[in-house]
Amino acid sequence: MARAEQPERRFDTPKGLGRGRGDDNDRFGRFTELVARGMGTPWFLFGLSLFVAVWMLWNTLAPADWQFDRADYGFIALTLVLSLQASYAAPLILLAQNRQDDRDRVQIEQDRQRAERNLADTEYLAREVVALRLAMKDLASRDFIRAELRSLLEEMDKRDESESQEEDDHARTRS
């Protein structure tokens, strides 16, 4: 007989933690959020108010044999049902809030890390801009090049004048 294949044991997971339990916790967390969202709507308040009104009308106006929660005793069953609903609603809402707080905490941490990366990138770019500005100081500016060209043109004009004067002097000496 072949042995049933056992799942691979992992040593980085504590003993007793199965794969499905994380999904169960998440499923329960989603359920608590669904309940909290549902209870926070106007439709829930309207439905609950309608339920209480129908309950009270039925137990007040119906024949005595059909009444199950008499108004003479102060609607004891209705009070019990509403207390039970409140006793389950409050912890479910708190669980949903804790879950939202955990998500907010993770989001804040991610935002902080993103801000740190942006700050580091900005500082790097600022250093690069400063390095470029320092490198630009070593480069010749447009005004510097124009001044150099003017001085070269002046030297060339002086040289042309001196050459033309030498040619004139040389031509005079020949004649």
Tokens 């102060």, located at residue: 74
- Return the higher-pLDDT residue of 171 and 39: 39
d(CA 104, CA 106): 5
CA-based end-to-end distance of the chain: 131
d(CA 39, CA 47): 10
Residue 3 pLDDT class (50, 70, 90 cuts): low
Q: pTM of whole model > 0.85? A: no
Q: What is the pLDDT of residues 28-55, one digit of tens each?
A: 888 888 888 888 889 999 999 999 999 9
Give the dihedral of Cα atoms 10, 13, 14, 20; nearest 10 deg: -100
Instruction: Please give the pLDDT value at position 8.
Output: 66
d(CA 134, CA 8): 61
d(CA 19, CA 23): 8
d(CA 175, CA 171): 6
Q: What is the pLDDT of residues 68-125, one digit of tens each?
A: 988 888 899 999 999 999 999 999 889 889 988 999 999 999 999 999 999 999 999 9
Q: What is the pLDDT of residues 137-163, one digit of tens each?
A: 777 778 888 999 999 999 998 888 888
Q: What is the mean pLDDT of residues 20-25?
A: 60
